[in-house]
Structure 1
Amino acid sequence: MTTAEEIVEPSTAEPRPRRVRGLLGWVAVAALVLVVAWVGLQVTANPPSATRSLDPEGRNGVGALALAEILRDQGVDVQVFRSRTDARAAIDDDTTLVMTNPYTLSDEALAELMSPADRIVFLSTGSHLLGELGMGDYAPGNLDSVDADCAAREFADVGSIRPDRLLEPAEGVMACFGDDDGAAVLIDDTDGAHTTVVDGTTLFSNAYLAEDGNAALALALLGQTERVVWYVPTLADTDIEAQSPDTLGDLTPGWVTPAILLLIAAGIAAALWRGQRFGPLVAETLPVTVRASETMHGRARLTAKAGDAAHAARVLREGSQRRLARRLGLTARATSDEVADAASDRLGIPRGTLQSVLAGPLPLDDPGLIEFARALADLEAAVEKTLRTRRSDE
């Protein structure tokens, strides 16, 4: 006895990899949208810090809030100013003026800010600032770990540091924490003010202040007076007027524009003059007529030269199919099977007999092409003969 499980046929459902791939694509798109949305929320919730490098109020890794708090713990009054006018007014005899590279100030504004200060410390510098102060320039190379090795007494207990960049001292400038190639700290006492320059962008930042002797060096530089006036250069306090770059019109001589306009006018006039010289275009029929038979023979020669028997057989079968469909009263869109069935009915032979001729494989060599052409010609002749017989009988 045959059970129900034995007569159940296996499933013929085919897997649909396209649907799976499409689903995976939509999942990837959704994941990308979620990631972008999450990043946007993070940026909105935690906007980039507006504080700059070595800002005494900056809490991020490049800020200097830790240094300012250490100075306050040591009893130093740290006052932060973002206006050079207010900073200059706050300077007295027992004050250290501290700032990073004041790239937002002109040389005149910087000199005015420094004039009342007896002790000045630049926590970062640049080539222009070093040249303006006359204290030296940047030096190539670097040092792993160095001690003060200079006559400055405030650096006696600092220990060793790892300077980021070295400075080459000018004549008469004291160099500390370095060697003959360069030093990390430059000190100048020649102009009546004690001016110190150090590239401490990394040394005095919140992220690296606790390493080596960085904190001790900062206290030695900034903790020699009871008050510290810390000026933070900003673009809002700049005295440098923005100058727009020269445009192409500013750099072009005055005679260029009229000359260009004159050339444009001359070109337009020449186009109008030459364009109407020969009058309007006249349509003219070709003097040569190409006959359809010549086109047919040309295509036949190309096909024979290429040796493409299959293409020639396809052309022959399409032509025979069109002629047979017209003779059998079928439409021009009749398929090969429909034409073969109609021809079989007309010839009185079983259906399916002519399928190999009108819908079967095409020959691939010249002998097969010849046999195929003869079969098509015989079929057309047989159908035409039946039509003539019917007309004679009528």
Structure 2
Amino acid sequence: MSQSTAARPAWASPRGRGRRAAVWTAIGIFLVLSALLGVALFGAQPWARKAPMDADSAGPDGARALVQILEQHGVQVEVVRDRQSALDALHRTAATLALPDSPYLSDSALTTLVDAAADTVVIEPRARSLRLLFHESTPEGFASRAVAPACELPTAQRAGTVSPAEVARAGVGVTACYPADGGAVLLQVPRNAATVSSLDGVSLLSNAHLAEHGNAALGIGLLGSRTTLVWYTPTIDDSDLAAAPTLGSLTPSWVSPVIVLLLVAGIAAGIWRGRRFGPLVAENLPVTVRVGETAEGRARLYARSHDAAHALDQLRYGARLRMARLLGLAPATAPDDLADAVAARLGADRAAVRGILNDTVPHGDRDLARLAADLTDLEAALHAAIRPGGSR
């Protein structure tokens, strides 16, 4: 009896190739759709975070609420995003400038903007702007409580108490309002027929704190004193500072060619090794395999290793399968039950048949050869008894 199988892998069939193509197509479509969705989400998000005290920001530290209130009071608020536009707007009309102290601007750029404005309010003062514009004033810390004006400035008197904020120690000739903890919340100084004021805008004028105490009144009084307000937030594109050395300028000249050479070598190695990936040849090879060939092959291997017991076990295993099929028994029939069925069919001694099929243990190659011959004779006799004159 023989069994035929086709040695053709599943991926080599037209159906398998179609399935693989469909899977990769679906993956590609999914990746493309994911990329498009990501672009749509991140390319049009109105809630993207803006800089603190940005005039268009509705976040807690933004200033959109103050800008809208100023516009309701008749102030034309012009929001600019670059330094040249800010200078052009200040040169067109006498306007108040709302300006943070930005690290992107040099000292000269900062003072040029202040000199071009009719009035200036520094809404995020730092040590640099306090030193340059307020006669060597210095940061002093943060007020621990709400602060009253305690000065003669009309704007501060009208606003009244304001929220706790950063304070600065005033320099010579600087008017200080809202004194607290060794400094003052509001500084003001004359400059070229204009006034320059300084206060912590995030703590007083931002959306989160504008409605507290007299914060809104103070902001309107300082920023709404003229009909036009230029609100300028510097960016890195406005920087007039000398560019810092780049990594490329600091590395030796031979580094770039070496990196390119390594990349080329890596690509070449990938192509060289990559051609080994996947099946090289797909062939259809119909093969006829005898049922007991595996058992007989293992028996030969055991025989070569002089393991007679294992070799005989493999021969017995194949013979039992064939005998069970001849007798119409299940392949999983117990060996002793199969031996009894064979003995009954042949009318042979049950103990002798059990010895050949199951029990006798060989002690060498001579015993293995004798028992293998007995096993072959027993199988031939059973075949002759069941199928007289029939082929095996």
1:251 aligns with 2:250: yes
In the alignment, is residue 337 of structure 1 matched against residue 333 of structure 2?
yes
Which segments of 5 or more consecutive residues in structure 2 lack a partner in the other structure?
1-35, 263-300, 363-367, 382-392
Corresponding position of 1:311: none
With over 3 angstroms needed to count, the CA separation of the structure-2 counterparts of 1:72 and 1:339, relative to structure 1, is: closer
| Partners of 2:212 and 2:112 in 1: CA distance | 36
Q: CA shift at 1:148, angstroms?
A: 1.9
Separation in 2, partners of 1:233, 1:116: 16
1:64 has 2:63 as partner: yes
- Give the whole-Å Cα distance in 2 for the aligned partners of 1:48 and 1:191: 41
- Deviation of 1:167 (Å): 3.2
Q: How many angstroms apart in 2 are the aligned matches of 1:139 and 1:229? A: 29
Which residue matches 2:343?
Answer: 347
The question of whether the paired residues in 2 share the 8 Å contact of 1:148 and 1:177 is answered with yes
Match of 1:19 in 2: none
Q: For residues 1-394 of structure 1, what are the structure 2 equivalents within 5 Å?
A: 47-48=46-47, 53-56=52-55, 62-74=61-73, 77-82=75-80, 83-92=85-94, 95-133=95-133, 134-189=135-190, 193-223=194-224, 225-235=225-235, 238=238, 240=240, 243=243, 245-248=245-248, 250-253=249-252, 321-325=313-317, 330=322, 337=333, 339-348=335-344, 376-377=359-360, 384=374, 387=377
Tell me what 1:287 maps to.
none
Deviations 1:267-306 (A, max 9, x none): xxxxxxxxxxxxxxxxxxxxxxxx9899779xxxxxxxxx
SS at match of 1:186: strand
Alpha-carbon offset, residue 384 of structure 1: 4.4
Please give the secondary structure, in 2, of the residue aligned with 1:230.
strand
Shift, 1:199, TM fit: 1.4
Task: Return the offset for 1:339.
Answer: 4.9
How far, CA to CA, are the matches of 1:66 and 1:329 in structure 2? 90
Contact 1:158 1:216 survives alignment (8 Å)? yes
**Matched residues in 1 for 2:121 and 2:321: separation?**
107
Distance between the aligned counterparts of 1:191 and 1:43, measured in 2? Answer: 46
The Cα of 1:102 is off from its aligned counterpart by 4.5
Query: Residues 53 and 385 of structure 1: is their aligned pair in 2 closer, same or farther, counting only changes over 3 Å?
Result: closer
Kindly state the Cα deviation for residue 320 of structure 1 after the two structures are TM-superposed: 5.2
| 1:216 Cα deviation after fit | 1.7
Amino acid at match of 1:125: P
Q: Match of 1:306?
A: none
Deviation at 1:84, TM superposition (A): 2.0
In 1, are the aligned partners of 2:105 and 2:238 still within 8 Å (CA)?
A: yes
CA RMSD between the two structures: 5.3
| Residues in 1 aligned to 2:132 and 2:50: alpha-carbon distance in whole angstroms | 26
- Residues 38 and 113 (structure 1), Cα distance of their counterparts in 2 relative to 1, 3 Å cut: closer
- Between the two proteins, what is the percent identity of the paired residues? 24
> 1:230 Cα deviation (Å)?
1.8
Runs of 5+ in structure 1 lacking a partner?
A: 1-36, 265-290, 298-314, 359-374
Structure 2 CA distance for partners of 1:257 and 1:87, relative to 1, 3 Å? closer
Equivalent-residue separation in structure 2 for 1:296 and 1:172 (angstroms): 110
Contact 1:90 1:229 in 2 (8 A): no
In the superposition, relative to structure 1, how do residues 169 and 292 fare at CA in structure 2: closer, same or farther (>3 Å)? Answer: farther
Structure 1 residue 86: deviation in Å?
Answer: 1.8
- 1:148–1:160 contact (8 Å) kept in structure 2: yes
- Quote the Cα distance in structure 1 between the aligned partners of 2:165 and 2:244: 35
**Contact 2:87 2:116 (8 Å CA) reproduced:** no
For the residue of structure 1 that corresponds to 2:207, the secondary structure is coil
Q: TM-score, normalised by structure 2?
A: 0.53
**Counterpart of 1:322 in 2: which secondary structure?**
helix
The structural deviation recorded for 1:129 is 3.1
> AA paired with 2:230?
W
For residues 62 and 235 of structure 2, what CA distance do their matches in structure 1 show? Answer: 18
Q: Distance in 1 between matches of 2:37 and 2:302?
A: 71
Deviations along 1:232-251, whole A, 9 cap, x unmatched? 23549725378474225x32
Report the Cα offset of residue 348 of structure 1: 3.1
| Length, aligned pairs only | 284
SS at match of 1:115: helix
CA contact (8 A) 2:86 2:230 kept: no
Partner AA of 1:48 in structure 2: W
Please tell me whether the aligned partners of residues 121 and 195 of structure 1 are also in contact (alpha carbons under 8 angstroms). yes
How far does residue 215 in structure 1 lie from its aligned partner after superposition? 1.0
Separation in 2 of the partners of 1:216 and 1:257? 61
Query: How big is the shift at 1:89?
Result: 0.7
**C-alpha separation in 2, matches of 1:130 and 1:235:** 20
Cα deviation digits, residues 168-218 of structure 1 (max 9, x gap): 444554433242343322223477642211111242133432221111211
What is the TM-score with the length of structure 1 in the denominator?
Answer: 0.53
